[in-house]
Chain A
Amino acid sequence: MSSPPPDDQQALSRRGFLTGSAAAVGGASAFAAALSPLRELDPQDLPSIESFFQKHYREMDAQEREQALARIREKVARRYEVEAEVSDPQARDGVEFVYALNVSRCIGCRKCAHACVVENNQSREPELQYIRVLEMPRGTLDVEKSDHHYERDEVPDPGHFYLPVQCHQCEDPPCVRVCPVEATWQEPDGITVIDYDWCIGCRYCEAACPYWARRFNYSKPELASEDVNPDMAYLSNRPRPVGVVEKCTFCLHRTREGRMPACLEACPVGARKFGNVLDPESEVSWILRTKRVFVLKEDVGTLPRFFYYFDERYPRGGAAPFDGGPGREGKGEEESE
């Protein structure tokens, strides 16, 4: 039998103490740092028992939906001191919504994008916009050559045309297919919606969308009380929490009641057209039947319900100059880039 180890081997060595305490302090501070986002948590944002156990929108029965709407109403009243009208309009039978946009008329003023922000209670800080107006050189249809940050003293610019892009409400939406938790789906009237309470914020849908139509709330959306639009719906413009994805819903809280989307109403040139494609007399049906219509990125095969069309005339300022030909009104230089 060997003798017991000498005392100084069992006792804590100086080195052992230092490394041990360093690891302990380091571990503790790393743990504290990991929990530090909790410092920014507003106790009001903690879910109640009911909202924690709230089901997926499509699994709720009528009573549970009513309760969910009441919770939203209460939350809006608490956070914004606004009495909101939270509704849950359903898709109508025999209605499939389609959007058409006249590229010959659009002047790129961005009024649609801002009307959308106001209507849909989008975050003002950081700013979120569903609609992107692409400015493209005349004679091209290449998204790579487009610019949506254009700043001009006046629009339209004679050397460019404008192509507003928002959710195309595709018939075969890739965003829906990639969602791992089925928080987004297509409604019977063609609108793809999101249950913001079910979204886990993985942003797969944002990556899957070929039209860059989805927006992610990186931080808590800031919205002043006076900016709140009290006309809300569960699936469209109720205030969203941080960490979820949102998008254009063709203003379903308006359009399912028969009204026009906000972007259309704000358009100063009447370039935007909206309606029921199943009604042969609707404006969009006439456009699809008789106008020269195209969809963006047709080759990706998602079958958008958002169509672009143009008139039997050259856009403002006449025909685009031929490559290398004499430009009209100084367009030649601007296109040289």
Chain B
Amino acid sequence: MPVSPRSKMRIALAGLWFLLAGWFLLGSSTGRDAVLGELQRAARVDPEAISSEPSRTPLTDPPRILLGGVEQRCSDCHDLFSSREPTPATLRQHREVVLDHGLNDRCYNCHSNPERTTLVLRDGTEVPFGESTSLCAQCHGTVFRDWERGMHGKTLGSWDPASPEFVRLECVSCHDPHAPAFEAIVPLPGPASRHAQPRSGSER
């Protein structure tokens, strides 16, 4: 049977139509799944890691420490024994303290002697532990200036300085006074979006 070119085209079109319909019906959902498969699930993050609490709890004023499992005040021991000017090398007690504060490596630079329940400024003025920021300010002048205006440090509660909830954290709420630099930490997982996958050759 002779088939005219016109009919051939019709048959071809019908076939194409069929294929397209089949692809839409069967293929469309798999195509969608393939796209969605690239959008990954968010990594669950420990709520502790993103807590809004200050990262450190400063010592109470006057301070109490755990010694031999018992909570002690500084004066419990230091009233009984007077200690020489210790250096990190000769320290026999408090050896768990990691001192990494640059040139400031003498206990009595900051701790008062013999009155251990307070700290001491360079001019001999005793300051309670609760006001340790004035002690830090002696050396860290520019940082203290910034902190006073809120340009350094962390403020919680409210953004409005007039609000009663406005709380600017003290130095020791974030920094360990014995080792004030922040330690490097493990970063939380990066974004898992389909957009902008890592560039090929980028360091992973």
Which residues of A does B touch, CB under 8 Å? Answer: 15, 18-19, 22-23, 25-27, 29-30, 32-34, 36, 102, 107-111, 113-115, 117-118, 122-129, 132-133, 147-156, 218-219, 255, 258-260, 262, 265-270, 273-276, 279, 281-283, 286-287, 290-291, 309, 311-313, 316, 334, 337
Contacts and interface: CB of A to CB of B under 8 A. Distances in A.
Given A107-B182, A111-B49, A260-B155, A149 B191 contact: yes
B50 A118 contact: yes
Given A154-B186, A218-B39, A147 B202 contact: yes
| Leading 8 A-B pairs by shortest Cβ distance | A126-B39, A283-B150, A265-B52, A33-B24, A270-B154, A127-B42, A154-B184, A26-B17
A111 B41 CA distance: 18
Main SS of chain A's interface residues? mixed
B179 interface: no
B87 interface: no
12 contacts: A29-B25, A36-B29, A109-B186, A111-B188, A125-B41, A154-B187, A155-B185, A218-B35, A258-B163, A270-B152, A270-B169, A283-B155
Contacts, number: 207
B203 A334 contact: yes
Given A26-B18, A108-B187, A155-B185, A114 B50 contact: yes
Contact of B150 (A26, A129, A286): A286
B174 A255 contact: no
Given A111-B50, A283-B149, A117 B42 contact: yes
Interface of B: 7, 10-11, 14-15, 17-18, 20-22, 24-25, 28-29, 35-36, 39-43, 45, 47, 49-52, 55, 142, 146, 149-161, 163, 165, 169, 174, 181-182, 184-194, 196-199, 202-204
Looking at B15, B20, B150, which has the most chain A CB atoms within 10 Å of its CB? B150
Contact of A132 (B55, B165, B191, B198): B191
Contacts of B159: 255, 258-260, 274-276, 282-283
B109 to A, nearest CB: 22
A26 B14 contact: yes
A268 B187 CA distance: 12
A255 B47 CA distance: 21
Contacts of A29: 21-22, 24-25
Contacts of B36: 126, 218-219
Looking at A34, A275, A287, A291, which has the most chain B CB atoms within 10 Å of its CB? A275
Contact of A269 (B14, B15, B42, B174): B174
A109 B39 contact: no
A173 to B, nearest CB: 21
Contacts of B155: 260, 273, 283
A282 B182 CA distance: 26
Contact of B25 (A27, A32, A334): A32
B160 A276 contact: yes
B149 A19 contact: no
Given A125-B42, A281-B161, A270 B174 contact: yes
Given A114-B49, A283-B149, A258 B35 contact: no
A153 B185 contact: no
B198 A268 contact: no
Contacts of B52: 115, 262, 265-266
A219 B35 CA distance: 10
A19 B10 contact: yes
B184 to A, nearest CB: 4
Given A124-B41, A126-B36, A219-B39, A260 B49 contact: no
